[in-house]
Amino acid sequence: MKDATDRQPVVNSYVSDMLALENHIAKALESQLKDLAGYPSVTAELQTILGTVRGHASALESLLQQRGGDSQSPIKKVGSRLLGFAAGAIDLVRSEGLPKNLRDDYTACSLATIGYVMLHTTGLSLDEREVGELAQRHLANYARIVMTLHNVVPSAVIQFLQEEGLPATDDVLSEISENIEGVWREQSGQVPDADEVRV
């Protein structure tokens, strides 16, 4: 078994990987905001999300510096390539219309969400409470972001369909919102807790 000094580079690499992902998401959002000037309600939400992402990146950078980590470490570069591929792929499909842009934002935010689950787990299981608590705060922010996107996407889809000349009506938005909330509520009690799924 490795001693406590071996954990610092491992934890730092996880922090560094999340920093890389946050920076990639910020870059993709910045690019997208330029293309979506005609959708002020959507861009307002995306600006809020971008502010959160930038705040995460700043907090991760500070934490990494406090821990003596390097945001350009070799471990980070490998992880960054993988995370960057995902974020880069998202950025490549930005010309396909508002709903697909938002779908890709959701995908990137879901990747960040599970990344923070992993960082939170790493922090707590290795007795690195500061890391675990930061990851938990960022995870909570991404939970809100994902729920926000759940509510923004239906309206964007309807608007896009209308722009394509289809007779889509927004009278169904309340029903859609209730259905989405109902699905998540119904499923939440049917999944096992983390301590019930030991690997």
Question: What pLDDT score does 81 carry?
Answer: 53
Model confidence pLDDT, tens digit, residues 149-196: 999 999 999 999 999 999 999 999 999 999 999 999 999 888 898 888
Model confidence pLDDT, tens digit, residues 107-136: 999 999 999 999 999 999 999 999 999 999
Question: What pLDDT score does 87 carry?
Answer: 52
For residue 93, give every residue at least 6 positions away whose Cβ sits within 8 Å of its Cβ, in sequence order, or none: 100, 104
Instruction: Say whether pLDDT at 75 is over 80.
Output: no
DSSP symbols for 127-184: T-HHHHHHHHHHHHHHHHHHHHHHHHHHHHHHHHHHHTT----GGGHHHHHHHHHHHH
Task: Go through the domains of the chain in sequence order and give each one's CATH number.
Answer: 4-190 (1.20.1260.10)
> What burial class does residue 198 get, using C-beta atoms within 10 Å of its C-beta: 0-12 exposed, 13-18 middle, 19+ buried?
exposed
Say whether pTM exceeds 0.75. yes
Instruction: Say whether pLDDT at 20 is over 80.
Output: yes
State what percent of residues in the chain have pLDDT above 90: 70
Residue entry with tokens 């309206």:
155
Question: What pLDDT score does 69 carry?
Answer: 84
Is there a contact between 115 and 21 (Cβ–Cβ < 8 Å)?
yes
Question: What pLDDT score does 88 carry?
Answer: 52
CA distance 190 to 199: 19
Question: What pLDDT score does 151 carry?
Answer: 93
108 or 84, which is more confident = 108
For residue 46, give every residue at least 6 positions away whose Cβ sits within 8 Å of its Cβ, in sequence order, or none: 29, 32, 33, 36, 105
Instruction: Say whether pLDDT at 74 is over 50.
Output: no
